[in-house]
Structure 1
Amino acid sequence: MSTIVKEVDTCEITVIHEEQVQHAKESMLPEDQIARLSTVFQAFSDPTRLRILHSLRQNEMCVCDLAASLEMTQSAVSHQLRKLKQARMVSNRKEGRTVYYRLHDEHVETLLQTSLFHILHT
C-alpha cells in the first residue's frame, strides 16, 4: 500500500506582522454587519435574482410583467422577489390588486453597476 501525503501551506511562525494583525482585528466589522452583508451577497448569488434586479433598473414592474419578460412562472418570480425583499434589495407598493416592485434604493443600483463594471474590466 502506498501512503498519500497531502501537502498543506502553513507558516512556521505564528505571526509575522503583529501590527497588521492587530489593525485587522480592530477594524473588523461587527457580526451583525457581517451577517447583513452576507445576506446582500447571497441575493446576488442567484442568476434569476440578478435578472430580476437588472429588469428593475429602469422601471418598477409587477410580478406578471416580470414573469413575462423573464419567461418564468409568476410563482417562481414571486419566490425570488420574496428573497430580494428580505435582503432589502427590492421594495414594493400595491395599487389595487397589483403589486409593483422596484429597486429598494440607489445603493442597489450602485452595487449592480459596480459589479458589472468589475466583470467587464477585469
Structure 2
Amino acid sequence: MMEKNTPEQTEIEKEVLSRVAQTFKILGDPTRIRILNLLSKEELSVNEIVDRLGLKQSNVSHQLKALRNVQLVKYRREGTTVYYSYDDEHVINTLEQMVNHVRHS
C-alpha cells in the first residue's frame, strides 16, 4: 500500500518558491529569452551575442548579468574574452516546452 504525501511533503519550501518566482520573472523578458536561445545552441562571447541579436553591448551585458544572478548562464574567461553558455539543461528544456506550447495554441 502506497503512503500518501502529507501537506508538509507536497508544499514547496518558501525559499525554493521565491527562487522559482525570481527565475520566471527574469525569463519574462524577450531579450533574455533570445539570449538563452542562442546559448542553447553554442557558447558565445558578448560581442558575438551583440552581433547576432543586433543589440548594444551594454544591453547584452546587463541582460547577461541578470541571467547570471539566477544561475541561468555561466561564463568562462579566455584571455580578455568572456564566453557565455547556459548553466542548466532544465531551463533550456522548459523554454523549448513553452515555445512548443505557444506554437501549438
Same fold (TM over 0.5): yes
- Return the structure number with greater relative CO, CA threshold 8 A, min gap 6: 2
Paired positions, count: 99
In structure 2, C-alpha distance between the alignment counterparts of 1:108 and 1:60, rounded to whole Å: 16
In structure 2, C-alpha distance between the alignment counterparts of 1:41 and 1:99, rounded to whole Å: 26
In structure 1, C-alpha distance between the alignment counterparts of 2:62 and 2:42, rounded to whole Å: 20
Instruction: Kindly provide the amino acid, as one letter, of the partner of residue 13 in structure 2.
Output: P
5+ residue gaps in structure 1?
Answer: 1-22
Instruction: Name whichever structure is richer in helix by fraction.
Output: 2
How far did 1:95 drift?
0.4
How far did 1:57 drift?
1.3
1:41-86: per-residue Cα shift (whole Å, max 9, x none)? Answer: 0121001101101111110100011011111111110000000001
2:24 is aligned with 1:41: yes
What's the Cα RMSD here? Answer: 1.2
Runs of 4+, deviation exceeding 6 Å: none
Structure 1 match to 2:54: 71
Q: 1:85 aligns with which of 63, 68, 93?
A: 68
5+ residue gaps in structure 2?
Answer: 1-5
TM-score (norm 2): 0.88
TM-score (norm 1): 0.76
Structure 1 match to 2:91: 108
Q: Once the two structures are aligned, what percentage of the paired residues are identical?
A: 37
Q: Which has the larger radius of gyration?
A: 1
